Amino acid sequence: MIAPVPTVAALSEYALADLGPPGAISLAQNESAFPPSPAALKAGAAALGSGALYPDPDWRDLRTAIAGVHSASPEGVLCGAGSMELIGALIRAFAGPGDQVLGTQYGYLFVQTAALQSGADYVAAPEPDLHVDIPAILDRVTPRTRIVFVCNPGNPTGTRVANQDLVALRAALPDTILLVIDQAYAEFDPQDHTPIFALVQDGNTVVTRTLSKAYGLAGARVGWGAFPPQIAAQVRKLLNPNNIALTSQAMAAAAMTDQAYMQRTVAQTGAIRDACAARLRAAGYDVPQSATNFVLVRCASAEAASRAKSALNSANIIPRPMNGYGLTDALRLTIGPQNVMDHAAQILENLR
Ligand SMILES: *Cc1c(COP(=O)(O)O)cnc(C)c1O
């Protein structure tokens, strides 16, 4: 028999998310309601002609564009095939068998998967009231904790904590623990993010971002992070040398440069989201205030959530059930175009 290594054998079977039949309207993956910036489309098309060549393994244009927007130094930026690639590499580089990765109750499930892939244990701090709780995280730190992972704003809760609270978390953590702050939805959260990037200077904090959500480039697979140099050097060893396709790099660099388009689509998404959330609350659903491009809709019971899912599916709309997070009474709805959200809200109103 051909046997996998024990850490792989112990992993559960890969499970595809239910994205509905081809042509269904997916509100299941937090993709943007809007197409990529016209500048990104143009740059991607122009790059096609160079498709015989390998992409830039050093992401120079992309890093320069990112550094220009975030007033970072390009040397501190690493780019990944989605921020998932960077998160996976970070965990493999800094946690192994016997180590603990500490996340939060409703933290990104992929972090748990990545920890188990590298043979580390995953521990989650409770999130009372669906919010990241700093004392609860500090309570769970042990001598085996190597990485603390916080997503802000959170997925699937949509809630956020003040960046100053994360600065306080960093100050309270031992210097030997790596803090990773996943800011996949930060563009939707208007608070000042400079104190978070400033933490990177101290050498033990990493901030990750993605082009998949606010920039509407989920299909291009581009993420990036701000890394201290010593951390970047280790993570770079684990990335595929040519990890981001030529067209994707070109699209991402152009999208970064078109901040006005991103800000406009984020504002429109926020307006659709807040109107949809207000409507659902008026119909009796519990919808936490969201600082992202999705809403978590809590129904009266698990049965009610399952009925809501079926009703939406009958209209060819695919929400994301939250059973994997233990939120059996909830569905997560990505904010799609206005007409789709109106239709979804109407269906959910009719169930009450
Ligand atoms: C979408 C998302 C990401 C980014 O994933 P990509 O690999 O960049 O597409 C990271 N973290 C969270 C919590 C997300 O929801």
User: How confident is the model over 227-256, as a mean pLDDT?
Assistant: 97
* Burial label, 157 (beta-carbon count in 10 A; 0-12, 13-18, 19+): buried
User: How confident is the model over 313-326, as a mean pLDDT?
Assistant: 96
Mean pLDDT of the chain: 97
Is there an atom of ligand 1 within 6 Å of 55 CB?
no
C-alpha to C-alpha distance for 130 and 158, rounded to whole angstroms:
9
Is there an atom of ligand 1 within 6 Å of 157 CB?
no
Considering only CA atoms, give the Rg of the chain.
20
Is there an atom of ligand 1 within 6 Å of 155 CB?
yes
C-alpha to C-alpha distance for 127 and 314, rounded to whole angstroms:
33
* Burial label, 14 (beta-carbon count in 10 A; 0-12, 13-18, 19+): exposed
Q: pLDDT tens-digit profile of 266-289?
A: 999 999 999 999 999 999 999 999
Residue 93: is its pLDDT beyond 90?
yes
C-alpha to C-alpha distance for 77 and 224, rounded to whole angstroms:
7
Beta strands in the chain (DSSP E): 25-26, 77-80, 100-104, 121-125, 145-151, 178-182, 205-210, 223-226, 294-298, 317-318, 320-321, 330-334
* Residue matched to tokens 């684990």: 238
Measured in Å, residue 302 CA sits from the centre of ligand 1 at 26
Instruction: Provide the pLDDT confidence category of residue 16 given band limits of 50, 70 and 90.
Output: confident
Tokens of 267: 């504002």
* Residue 269 Cα distances to 35, 147, 173, 191, 337, angstroms: 12, 33, 35, 17, 8
* Residue 37 Cα distances to 189, 210, 256, 257, 261, angstroms: 20, 15, 9, 10, 6
What atom in ligand 1 is closest to the CA of residue 182? Answer: 11
pLDDT confidence of residue 352: 85
Q: How far does Cα 276 stand from its chain's mean position?
A: 22
3-state secondary structure of 102: strand
What is Dmax (Cα atoms) for the chain? 59
User: How confident is the model over 249-276, as a mean pLDDT?
Assistant: 98
pLDDT confidence of residue 335: 98
pLDDT confidence of residue 139: 98
Residue 195: is its pLDDT beyond 90?
yes
Residue 18: is its pLDDT beyond 90?
no
Q: φ, ψ for residue 205 (rounded to 5)?
A: -130, 140
Whether the model pTM is above 0.75: yes
- The size of the chain, in residues, is 352
pLDDT confidence of residue 187: 98
Provide CB contacts within 8 A for 71, sequence distance 6+.
Answer: none
Residue 71: is its pLDDT beyond 80?
no
Give the residue, out of 91, 108, 221, 292, with the most ligand 1 atoms within 8 A of its beta carbon, to mutate for a pocket test.
108
Dihedral of CA atoms 128, 131, 135, 140 in degrees, nearest 10, equals 70
pLDDT confidence of residue 19: 87
Is there an atom of ligand 1 within 6 Å of 184 CB?
yes
Is there an atom of ligand 1 within 6 Å of 114 CB?
no
pLDDT confidence of residue 194: 96
Instruction: Provide the pLDDT confidence category of residue 213 given band limits of 50, 70 and 90.
Output: very high
User: How confident is the model over 51-80, as a mean pLDDT?
Assistant: 94
C-alpha to C-alpha distance for 56 and 141, rounded to whole angstroms:
40
Is there an atom of ligand 1 within 6 Å of 105 CB?
no
Give the residue, out of 87, 149, 213, with the most ligand 1 atoms within 8 A of its beta carbon, to mutate for a pocket test.
213
Provide CB contacts within 8 A for 257, sequence distance 6+.
Answer: 39, 65, 68, 69
Is there an atom of ligand 1 within 6 Å of 249 CB?
no
* Residue matched to tokens 């990890």: 243
Instruction: Provide the pLDDT confidence category of residue 126 given band limits of 50, 70 and 90.
Output: very high
State yes or no: cis peptide before 319, omega within 30 of 0: no
Measured in Å, residue 215 CA sits from the centre of ligand 1 at 12
Residue 73: is its pLDDT beyond 90?
no
